Amino acid sequence: MIFYKTDLNNYLKELDEVNFSHPLIKEIVSELFNEEQTELEKVKTAFEFVRDNISHSWDIQSTKVTCKASEVLQYKEGICYAKSNLLAALLRSQGIPTGFC
């Protein structure tokens, strides 16, 4: 893997699309994660949550367009890119550096 930026703090930043301080994101974070989980367990939990609880817009033939992590969570749908924003928000909220490729 080649990092676009070598400083891992770049992969922890909150962005407009990766808005992990949003109340909806904070709420789900408190449900999914606890202090006793390892980093790997948190990654698995976040991935499985997005995979199993967020529909792909094309699969459900939705016309709604989501992008921000909070929108994806609110409407429980998004295209691959939008779903990855939610996954990144969940992981970054836990201090796990997350990028896109």
Please tell me the distance from the alpha carbon of residue 23 to that of residue 99, in angstroms, as a whole number: 22
The set of residues, in sequence order, having a beta carbon less than 8 Å from that of 13 and lying 6+ positions away, is: 92
Which stretches within 12-101 are classed as H helix? 23-32, 39-53, 69-75, 80-93
Residues of the chain with pLDDT > 70, as a percent, come to: 96
Q: Where are the domains of the chain?
A: 8-93
Taking the C-alpha atoms of residue 66 and residue 98, their distance in angstroms, rounded to an integer, is: 20
Tokens linked to 4: 């676009």
Name the token pair of 76: 């429980």
pLDDT of 31-74, one tens digit each? Answer: 999 999 999 999 999 999 999 999 999 999 999 999 999 999 99
